[in-house]
Structure 1
Amino acid sequence: MSGKITGIATIRVDGQEYPSERGATLNPGGVNRNVKMAGKRPYYNEEPVAPTLQCSVLHTEELDLIEVGKIRNATVLFECDNGQDYLLSGAFVTEAPQLNTSEGTFGLNMAARTCERI
């Protein structure tokens, strides 16, 4: 049995497509479990983790770097080329985008309130 794996993601922020390079990452969030040992018996506690998205975006004439840095409470669609799509709600930029003029790109780092597969 073979199946298609994700190779490219299309990212849309409030309906506007952001031309991202290969290598975008999506962490759907959830919990991290921290293991503690008592003798030979493992225990854990849970720490909530926010959904996050990281990608490198091509800096085109349509994208205003300053406006991108102001994004908050956005709806973000992360479309994988294998047919799986994820919707991030209440998304916001976590750090100011930095323009790399030698590559013509900037990093987009976001977190969100929720992430769900649609």
Structure 2
Amino acid sequence: MGQRVAGICYVKVDGAQLTIAGSCEARLMDVKRESVVPGFFKEEQLTPYIKCKAVHTPDFPLKKLVEGTDMTVVCEFSNGKVYVLSAAYLVDEPVASGDDGTIDLQFDGLKGVWQ
């Protein structure tokens, strides 16, 4: 019996659903571990994030996304896993692509939780 692990993902920002083209990405861990010597490691705190490519639809909530500094971003992956990013805000420089009508988005946040 097969099980779906890839396909459509859904992203909502403060309740507004975005149309996604392509994939979504989210961190699996909130720390980066590096071995110092065998059996001992150091940890570095990582910023939780969600990356996605959204379609720039006529009703795209551009102003909400650009001005938002305390948003909740929910990403539902095609395998049924859900990642919730709180106190989220856009980072980098989102750019609209006229060639394919999409916008690459990266939301960083205070806390990311897998459900």
Q: How high is the TM-score relative to the length of structure 2?
A: 0.86
User: 1:36 maps to what in 2?
Assistant: 36
User: 1:23 maps to what in 2?
Assistant: 23
Q: Is the 8 A contact 1:74 1:89 kept in 2?
A: yes
Map Cα deviations across residues 30-71 of structure 1 (whole Å, 9 max, x no partner): 11012223xxx4531100112111111111111254542222
User: 2:97 maps to what in 1?
Assistant: 100
Q: Is the 8 A contact 2:74 2:83 kept in 1?
A: yes
Q: Which runs of 5+ in 1 are unaligned?
A: none
Q: Is the 8 A contact 2:34 2:43 kept in 1?
A: yes
Structure with larger Rg: 1
Identity fraction in percent: 24
Root-mean-square deviation (Å): 1.9
Task: Determine the C-alpha separation between the residues in 2 that align with 1:96 and 1:65.
Answer: 13
In structure 1, the residue corresponding to 2:23 is in which secondary structure?
coil
4+ aligned runs moved over 6 Å, structure 1:
none
Task: Determine the C-alpha separation between the residues in 1 that align with 2:61 and 2:72.
Answer: 18
In the TM superposition, what are the counterparts of 1:1-118 in structure 2 within 5 Å?
Answer: 2-37=2-37, 41=38, 43-118=40-115
Shift of the 67–17 alpha-carbon distance from structure 1 to 2, 3 Å rule, reads same
Task: Determine the C-alpha separation between the residues in 1 that align with 2:68 and 2:94.
Answer: 11
Map Cα deviations across residues 62-107 of structure 1 (whole Å, 9 max, x no partner): 1254542222110111112222222111111112310111111111
Number of aligned residue pairs: give it.
115
Shift of the 79–56 alpha-carbon distance from structure 1 to 2, 3 Å rule, reads same
- Which one-letter code corresponds to 1:26 in the other structure? A
